[in-house]
Amino acid sequence: MGEENWEKIETIIDRALELPESQRDTFITEQCKGNERLKSEVTLLLESIFDSEGWLDDPKDYKEEFYNDISDDVKELSSQHTLIGQKVGSYTIKEQIGKGGMGAVFLAQRSDDSFEHRVAIKIIREERATQTNIHRFEQEQRILAQLNHPAIAQLYDGGITADGFPYIIMEYVDGTPMDDHCRINKCSIDEIVSLFTQVLEAVRYAHENLVIHRDLKPDNILIDDSGNVKILDFGISKLLKDENGSTRPTEEARLLTPRYAAPEQIRQEPDKTSTDIYALGVVFYELLAGTGPFAFNDRSHYAIEQTILKKEPPQPSTQTADSTLRKKLEGDLDAIVLKAIRKDPEDRYRGVTEFLDDLYNYQHNLPVHARKGTTIYRLSKFFKRNKKGLAIAAGVILLLVSLTGFYTWRIAQERNHAQLQADRAEEITNFLVSILQLNNPSENVGKDITVSDALLHGIDYVEQQEMSAFNRATILGTIGSIQINTGDIEEAGITLEKGMAFVTDSLTEQSEKTIAIGTKYAEWHEDVGNTREAERYYNLTDSLFRAHQLTNTLTFYAHQLNYSDFLLENGQYEKALQVLAQSEQNLNNTAGKNPSLLDLQADLYNNRGRAYKNMGEHRKALDNLDKALTLKQEIYEENNPKIGRLYHNMGVVYATISDFGQAKKMAEQAYTIRVQTLGPEHQLVGSTLHLLGNIAFELEDYEQAFEYNKKSIEINKQKHGPEHFRYALAIREYAKTLSATGRFEEARKQIDQAISIIGDNYGKDHPYYGYMTKTYAEIFAEVEDYAQAMEYGQQTISNFKRNFGPQHPNLGKVFCNQAKYAMKSQKYRQVDSLFTAGLEILELHFDRDNPLIREADSLLTVFRANLP
């Protein structure tokens, strides 16, 4: 980008941001007048603005900061270019080789011919030359000057350039980032440990000199051609003493790499040596397992922070598909890595020396300290999160029922493998005995052992005892399912992830029970909002069922129904119907009609009804839901959550066709059942409160609507988190009620938050984004800003056409809304065609006496009668 073009680019972007989205492309094309390079720069910068989190948080402040940064970068391109060939100290700058948070780094060659010597020179950038950054730059000089270690890049000189900019001359390291070096050279575990020991020795030296690095990562740890380690970039490191010699925490602005940031850094607590130990643990984890402890791809900044703060990392050994590598990592190395990256700094190695001692012990087949107290540590952490538990008897019964059923099934299927089954039976028996011993008064005096304790004990038992991969997978899958049922969602994800690793180990002896762990893990990802991962595990599990010819089983039918659930939640209604059709064909070919089959058949009707509802075929929806209810009532008592689910879904359909009296009746029945059987804080209660709030809104009972809205928001945020679509939809319902009662500013803030959640986490093409823009239009119409209302209405039409097709009733409703906005804003030419288009769609789905049709028909008749 040339500096001479910047003012013109800034002007075009400023004006484009003020236009509706539909007009921006045309405006940019006109302003650029055939200059394709200028148009490309403008378009790319606009995309950068809209893709950023700052734009959604505060557009005005973000735009100002963005312009300042870009303007600075334009200047920088010129200033840095002029530095090439310039002399700094005794060296001539040859090329730029890097750029940090406050300085550019250049490769330089000694100017005289006395001897050949290449160095790296860091020069503070002109536009970053604030007093704070100059102070930090000078501090970096002091830090490097006091560190003299062969594995730390050496400082040679420092000073001020002729132009007045501080610089430091450092050792130039021609090396490869540590992770790349290990991958390219296919380093063995022993070679990785040996290299990593060099890194620890250097960091220990820095800590002994009262220096914390704060940003250790593979890019800052290079390996030269001789295999020697060099640690770079103390640009954000901190001295443990200030100029007066007193120890103090530093509170300057933080320059972190989130992937390697410790929990205390996320919380912005003072850094200690344990901060570096955490980062080293993450680096060591990646070197051993080939991947990090957490997947951060496509995750928001908030989600990354919450993962670092709350999610327990899986063992490195579970992250690799290589069975030989897994066996080498299991045990000592798993324990060493996990100790280094524990959430609480006090639970990590107390210093780098302890870290080194454990690696020495590992290398010499001595006991490692990290393996001591594993169960106590896990339980203590769990107690902090769970203050209320159930009796151990409940957990034991659940485990006995699940595992005994599994074992009986396996015996019936494999009578010719008696010894194999005997071994498995002994493993299961030993496992259950270890659970029962938890409740032995002589061994646990004064302890109130809960089902959570039992489950965590079971996980530790599986990890520490010799056991077949088949049994490990089955037990962990069972425990994960129980954790979900008891509401321990976070621990369930960790457990199921471990279970899935053992599923791949037992591929030659798969049963439907072990493969079904994949379905449960997919459901877990769906519950916490990881849509892509959920779909991946649904597809993986489907492939495993088919590969092992287990598609004619009840477990596979249940898997298909769960998958159709996922598709419905994500707007893939046609595909959901296809999956349900396959499942129905399989069910019809299954002999007998026992309660389990009837239950699955009812679930199939339920999901089909939901699909038809979303596709606008309301009669078919109610027919299928009625069939489902009839079957469920043959199997269960009336006060059962499965009955409550059907009342809820029928209430949704009745609300959609504007029969709010019947909708209210169904929703209240669902609410009563769910509260009585699941408790008032359950996520399904939150869902029904959302429905009741919508019905109260439509009946103009706004006081009651507010009450339902607030409870729904609270439950959905608690159960699903602040980035889940259910939380966003609950906020949208609240915004509608605020707008209807004249509280427009509050309504705008709420819908802004909701649309950001959907846009950031699900994308603008998702049907829920269309619901958000529809509500935006309605709020603007309330304040008589009909131009904006029509703009958001047009976005909604595009979204609904893409997701629902050209004849969906939702589309008909939006056309009628657009007609009203056009009439109010005196755009009379559009009114007739919009009403006509809307009525043609609505009449395909509703009776003539439907309130929506009556209102639109009446308005169109009056409009035509008053035409000149």
Strands lying side by side in the sheet with 166-171: 87-88, 91-99, 103-110, 118-124, 166-171, 155-160
**Alpha-carbon dihedral of residues 56, 58, 59, 60, nearest 10 degrees?**
180
CA 465 to chain centre: 33
CA distance 362 to 369: 10
Angle CA 108–111–114, to nearest 5: 120
Over the Cα atoms of the chain, what is R_g? 32
Q: What six digits make up the tokens of 308?
A: 């670092």
CA distance 82 to 307: 44
Q: What is the DSSP letter of 127?
A: G
CA distance 256 to 317: 27
Q: Which residues of 586-605 are buried (b: 16+ CB within 10 A; e: fewer)?
A: bbeebeeeeeebebbbbbbb
CA 215 to chain centre: 24
Contacts by residues 532-535 (CB-CB < 8 Å, ≥ 24 positions apart): 532/298, 533/295, 534/566, 535/566, 535/570
Length of the chain in terms of residues written: 868
Instruction: Collapse the DSSP code of 671 into the 3-class scheme (helix H, G, I; strand E, B; otherwise coil) and give the result.
Output: helix
Determine whether the annotation assigns residue 122 to a binding site. yes
Q: What six digits make up the tokens of 61?
A: 């402040």
Q: What six digits make up the tokens of 44?
A: 């790319």
Contact between 406 and 474 (Cβ < 8 Å): yes
Q: Give strand pairing partners of 110.
A: 91
Please tell me the number of Cα atoms within 13 Å of 702 on its side-chain side: 10
How many other β-carbons are positioned within 10 Å of the β-carbon of residue 283?
24
Contact between 326 and 320 (Cβ < 8 Å): yes
Using left for φ > 0, alpha for ψ between -120 and 50, and beta otherwise, residue 34 falls in: left
CA distance 805 to 615: 9
Phi, psi values for residue 733, rounded to 5°: -60, -40
Q: Give strand pairing partners of 13.
A: none
Q: List the binding residues for ATP.
A: 122
Q: List the binding residues.
A: 122
